[in-house]
Amino acid sequence: MLSVRRCSRTGCTELAVATLTYVYADSTAVVGPLATQAEPHSYDLCNRHAHRLTAPRGWEVVRFEGEFAPPQHSSDDLTALAEAVREAGRVDRPGEVVAAGTPTGRRGHLRVLPGPSDE
């Protein structure tokens, strides 16, 4: 299963391949490979936005040299399940319409169902 992290740019639904962080003390924006986990003070970017990023006047952009690797497949079933649950819970999924007055909070819980060999 692919990583479900998407580009942080408004309106972009591409998969994230890079992470942008700011070093305010040095007036530097750093664009590097996708971080292993999403952090609240960093931004995930798709390939196009990672390469086109510009910084304000007086700031420097430090960018990873080379191509950003696409998200890797996960062989861990538990990680794949967690990513699928996160994707299903995203409010900003393309094509999803939430009717007015519909609660958007907790959607329920997971439960284990017996399989054919568990009966």
pLDDT tens-digit profile of 47-78?
Answer: 999 999 999 999 999 988 777 877 665 556 56
Please indicate, yes or no, if residue 114 is contained in any of the structural domains.
no
Structural domains counted in the chain: 1
Whether pLDDT at 107 is above 60: no
Please indicate, yes or no, if residue 115 is contained in any of the structural domains.
no
Please indicate, yes or no, if residue 98 is contained in any of the structural domains.
no
Residue 92: per-residue pLDDT: 57
Q: H/E/C letters for each residue in the chain? A: CCCCCECCCCCCCCECCEEEEEEHHHCEEEEEECCCCCCCCEEEECHHHHHHCCCCCCCEEEECCCCCCCCCCCCCHHHHHHHHHHHHHCCCCCCCCCCCCCCCCCCCCCCCCCCHHHC
Whether pLDDT at 80 is above 90: no
The domain of 36 spans 1-83
Please indicate, yes or no, if residue 20 is contained in any of the structural domains.
yes
Please indicate, yes or no, if residue 97 is contained in any of the structural domains.
no
Higher-pLDDT residue of 103 and 116 is 116
